[in-house]
Structures are given as C-alpha cells and as structure tokens.
Chain A
Amino acid sequence: MSANLSNIRHTHGLDVVKPLSITTLILVMMPLVLLPLASIFIFGTSSGLRSFWNALTAPEAVFALQLSIVTSFWATVFNVVFGLFAAYVLTKYNFWGRNALIVTISLPTAIPTAVAGFALLLLWGPYGILGRFLDPHGIHLMFTAAAIILANIFVTFPLAFGVIKPVFDTMNQSLEEASATMGATRWQTFWHVTLPSLRGAILSGALLTFARAVGEFGSTILVSGNLAGRTQTAPLYIFAKFNEGQVEAANAIAIVLALFSFLIFSVLFLARDWLEAE
C-alpha cells in the first residue's frame, strides 16, 4: 500500500517535496535529539579516555549504576509478572468496575513522577498513612532501595500492562477453547498456548519498563533520600555531581546510561521481529 502511495505522481519533472521534507526532518531532529546525545559523547571523551575511566570507576559511581540496575530489575520482574496477571484477569473476566480498574492501572502514565514520589512518601513515610504503623516495628520503607523499587513499580506499571493487554485483547479465544477440548488444564493452556503468543509483548514490556526505570528521576529523588553510596541511583548521581560542579563525573555516567538505552532499544527492535516471526 505504502509502495503504491509513493508512486503517485503529483508533479511533472523534478519532485522537490521529497528531498525537502527529508532535509527538514533531519534538521529538526538534529538539534532536538541527535546533537544533545552526541555532545555527551564528545564532552565525555574530550579530556581523554583515562579520566573518563576514572570517573566511571569511582566507587560512588559504580554503586549508583549497580543500584539503578538492581532496583530496575526487580521493578521489571514485578511489573511484567503482575502486568501479565492484570492483563489476563481484565481480559478474561467481565465484572463491575472493570473499566475503572483499567483506567486506574494506566493512571501513573499521566501523573508527574514527582507527584508519584510525594504520594509514596505520604503513604509509606515515617508519618505516612501506613508508614506510621510500620515505623514502631522498625520497618522503614522510605529512603531505602525498597523505596526506589516501589517508586519504579508505580511509575512504570502501565508500560508492561499497556503492551501485554492489547495482545490479550486480540488473541483468538478459540485457541484456548481448542486447547481445552484437546485435554489441557487451564494452566497447561496458559503455558503452552497463551504464553508463547505473548513472548514478544512480554519482552517489549520488560525492556520498556527496565529502560524507563533505569532513568527514573522525579520519584526516586523524593523517596530515596539521595544518599551517596546508599540510596543514590545513576540519574541522581548525575544530578548530584553536576550540582557539585563535577561535570566529568556526571558525564561518564550519562554516557553509560545513554549506551544502555541504545542497547535496550536495539534488543527491543531485533528481538521483537525475531520472536514474532513464525
């Protein structure tokens, strides 16, 4: 269809619209996206690879990267498993309040991340609605790695759910019925028939969640306490070092996070095609 569309001729002779629109696209994208990204790499390597390596291997920097990866990993595991469960329940069963639940689950997309962090503080903080009951027992969720995971879960939950749910919606119900008539239990049907059809969506959901969680700033700065070497994630480290005037240190981590995103998105594109091919 698209091939036919581009073959329609609107002009005689040279068509200037094509080169013009492509040039415009590149000229707009360059200063908006490509140049900022390029400048990270240009600046980060300008004073030599040695100083870049030193900045990167500073204990606090390594810790921040590790913390980001670990907290994002657990948030991803939770969101994929629970996103799958939520999508399954909300597709299979029709009940009163189902649509309200779908809206609620998707709500964090629209909530500013700082608001999300603040809300978590008000709930789980030492004087929070629930936190005040935990505090006397010595359970402190806020200003720990757990708080970062909670914030990541909150902010990124709609991502995995949003990718998995549409696949459930379009899945042919007779596949599951066929499996049942052939002798499968509900679990066997889910495992052998439903889940394989969701492989692509699960992988996309996981990678999107992870990419988003690794970069999360607004909510984590509020709930983590931003303590260097204890609760400081990579984005918080960048912010802190920049504020301290240590631009090189901030830049080294920025490069790692940027490369990380490139990697995730490459995997996302390649693996999805591969998983969806039959």
Chain B
Amino acid sequence: MKDNIQTNQAAVSVEGVSKKFGAAVVLDDINFSVLEGETLVLLGASGSGKTTILRIIAGLETPDSGRVILHGKDVTELPARARGVGVIFQNYALFPKMTVEGNIGYGLRLRGRPKSDIAEIVNTLIELTHLEEHRRKHPSQLSGGQQQRVAIARALAYNPEVLLFDEPFGALDAQIRTRLRREIRALLREIKVPSIFITHDQEEALELGDRIAVLNQGRLEQIGTPYNVYNKPATEFVATFLGAANLLLGIVNENRFEAEDIFLKIEPDPKIRDGQSVKLVFRPEDVFLRRPENLTQNYQPLVDGIVEEVNFVGAFERVVVRLNISTRPPILVTRPKSETTVFPLEPGVKVPVGLVRFRILPNYTLASERAARVI
C-alpha cells in the first residue's frame, strides 16, 4: 500500500518502516505521509502495530529498516529529544510535581529560553486551551479533559514538528470522549499543526481524520479520506473493521457479479478478470428491502429474502434477512425511521432485497472458507 504524496511536500513521511519484536513482525513495510496542517488517523485493532509506528516517529523505538522524515529531514537516527515532536500520551504523562504552568513551560526551559518568553508563550497556550483558572494547580487536581488540554498545550509550547496522539480518549467515558473529540478537532483546525492520532475506535477515526490509515497486523491496508475508506474499502478487512459489512461470495462474468440467482451489473475493473472468484461487499445501510419509489439512487435488485429478526436500536432499525439462495446466508440491514414508519416489517415476511451501493473485492481467502457471513 503506497501513499502517493511526495515526501518533499509532507510534514511527516514514514518510508518503508519495518519492525520485529523477536520473531513477531510488528510492522511490515509501512509507507505514508502527513501533509502540513493535516490530521491523519492510524486506525487498527490492538496489536496492529499503530502504537509502534507512533513510537518510531517519536524516537522512542528504532525501526529495523526504513526512514522517518520530518519536514524534509531524515530523523531516523536522532534520539527522541532531538526530534522536536509533541506526544500526547494515553495517560497524558503530566509531571505530577509541576503545576500546569510548570508542565507547559518545561520544553521551553529545557531549550534555555528566557523567562519572559516562557511566561508569554505559557500564557498564550493557557488561554488557547482555556486553562486560566487552573494555571497553578497540580495535575492530580485536574479532570481528565483538563489534563488532556495541559498535555496538548505542553506539546505545543515548543512548536513541534508534528503532534502525536496515543489513544488520547482511551481513559475517558463515552460522553466526555465525544465532547473532547470535538474540542480537539476545533483546536487542531485552529493551530494547523500536522497531527497523527492513533485509535481503535472507527467513529473517532471518521470524525477526527482528514485522512485515515487502516492498519491490520502490521500492514497498511488502506489510506484515504474518511469518505473513501468507508465507502470504497480496498480490502475485506477495511470493509469490516470500519463499520459493518455484508459479504457474499461469487464470480465475475462479463461485467456481472454472479452467485446462483444473483446477477449484479458491475463497473469494468482491469484488476478483475472473468471467472475470478470475488466478494460482494455491501453496508447494511445500502440495502433496500422494497423497490424504492424514487429511483434516483443506483438501485439494483439482488434476490428475495425472508425477514428473520427485527430489532429496534434507537435511531434506526436493524433487520436480519436470509437470502433466498441455496446457502441461505443471513445479511444485516439497517433502516432509518423514515423507512420503518411507512414500511413496517416483521419476522417471516418475504421481501425483495436490493442494493444502492456495493464493492467487488478479489477473493483472496479460500472460497470454501465461508459462503457468506454477517459481520
């Protein structure tokens, strides 16, 4: 997976980075870049290697091969202290014996800046992060959100080359997470410092990232805008990790996807040849259980199915439908309120199943592995 941004215009470039811990391959030839002022989210499950990438960029870990370039300068061999990156650790790592001001000014004191300069910069950052009332407090007297703002201000004080966020919302509860996410998004837009976030939370990734890089077992599966990564997943992993996806096995024949009685017209793809085994990937919200009256969307009928389960889950309804083909695969469908009120469903009802959006991916895994599955 190559990122097509040129190194010379990037704030951060990671080139061909690999890392092993003992026999385990943690990172396998990772390449990506972050533009000036851009926020990139590294999304992956635990053990995908995202933390290791962050630590390699920060200089807290050495890659076995590959390079890290910050604003055109190769820093691979430089120790952490000489790189000038700002890291916001998961637990914030604020210095417990220093006040908020002391924490924020630490990087400047290390650089031997005059006291008056330090005071001025600290003041500006305290205002920026709305910590005016807390300037003389110690970290233990602050809430999680306030501590996080101190951690960001502390990293911003010395004009970092890049801000690295290591799962910064991991330790907070759901409500605060959502609020802080928005606050940080707004702050990052304001300061325009290139940033890399790591997270395992897809919602967080979609909301925070200008672009998202999806990692799986040390490999970069896809990098792109949240829209593209979500709607045009390059691999099965991306499709299933970023939101729910239904998968159906079939073959390609004359620009059609075929599986028993299912025939879907597809766009010609030079990477897929006739007769090749493929997977049809579609999101639950892209399934229609009746023929839409207004066919402005790209609707194509799939096959009939029987409703098996109907669950109300707040903002939308979740329906499980078994398709009427020999393997009777269950698929997951979500319907908005507008649809459920005019067209209520109950288990046992026969429905026509159609799709408005789908992807065809080459089937690299064994065809016998599973005929279809609901994720």
Contacts and interface: CB of A to CB of B under 8 A. Distances in A.
Interface of A: 172, 174-175, 177-185, 188, 192-193, 196-197, 199, 278
Contacts of A179: 95, 106
B93 A174 contact: yes
Contact of A183 (B84, B89, B96): B84
Interface stretch (B75-83, B235-243, B318-326): B75-83
Interface of B: 58-60, 79-87, 89-91, 93, 95-98, 106-107, 110-111, 138-141, 154-155, 158
A257 to B, nearest CB: 35
Nearest to A198: B97
Given A174-B91, A196-B97, A181 B140 contact: no
Given A178-B87, A181-B58, 17 more contacts: A175-B96, A177-B93, A179-B106, A180-B81, A181-B87, A182-B81, A182-B106, A182-B107, A182-B155, A183-B81, A183-B82, A183-B84, A183-B158, A185-B81, A192-B106, A196-B98, A278-B141
A183 to B, nearest CB: 4
B110 A184 contact: yes
B97 A181 contact: no
A197 B139 CA distance: 13
A181 B87 CA distance: 7
9 contacts: A172-B91, A178-B87, A179-B106, A181-B81, A181-B83, A181-B86, A181-B87, A183-B81, A197-B96
Contacts of B141: 278
B110 A177 contact: no
A230 B8 CA distance: 77
B138 A278 contact: yes
Contacts of B91: 172, 174
A185 B106 CA distance: 13
Contacts of B111: 183
Contacts of A185: 81
SS of A interface (majority): helix
B84 A172 contact: no
A67 to B, nearest CB: 37
A254 B107 CA distance: 53
B110 A174 contact: no
A15 to B, nearest CB: 38
A180 B97 CA distance: 17
B59 A181 contact: yes
Contacts of B154: 182
B86 to A, nearest CB: 7
B95 A278 contact: no
A163 B155 CA distance: 33
A177 B89 contact: yes
Nearest to B88: A178
A182 B158 contact: yes
Contacts of A278: 96-97, 138-141
Going nearest first, the 10 A-B pairs with the smallest beta carbon separation are A196-B97, A178-B93, A278-B138, A174-B93, A182-B107, A180-B80, A183-B110, A181-B87, A174-B89, A181-B80
B87 to A, nearest CB: 5
Contacts of A188: 110
A155 to B, nearest CB: 32
A193 B89 contact: no
A175 B110 CA distance: 15
B95 A175 contact: yes
B124 to A, nearest CB: 18
Contacts of A196: 95, 97-98
A193 B81 CA distance: 15
B96 A177 contact: no
A179 B107 CA distance: 8
B158 A181 contact: no
A96 to B, nearest CB: 17
A181 B57 CA distance: 10
Contacts of B60: 177, 180-181
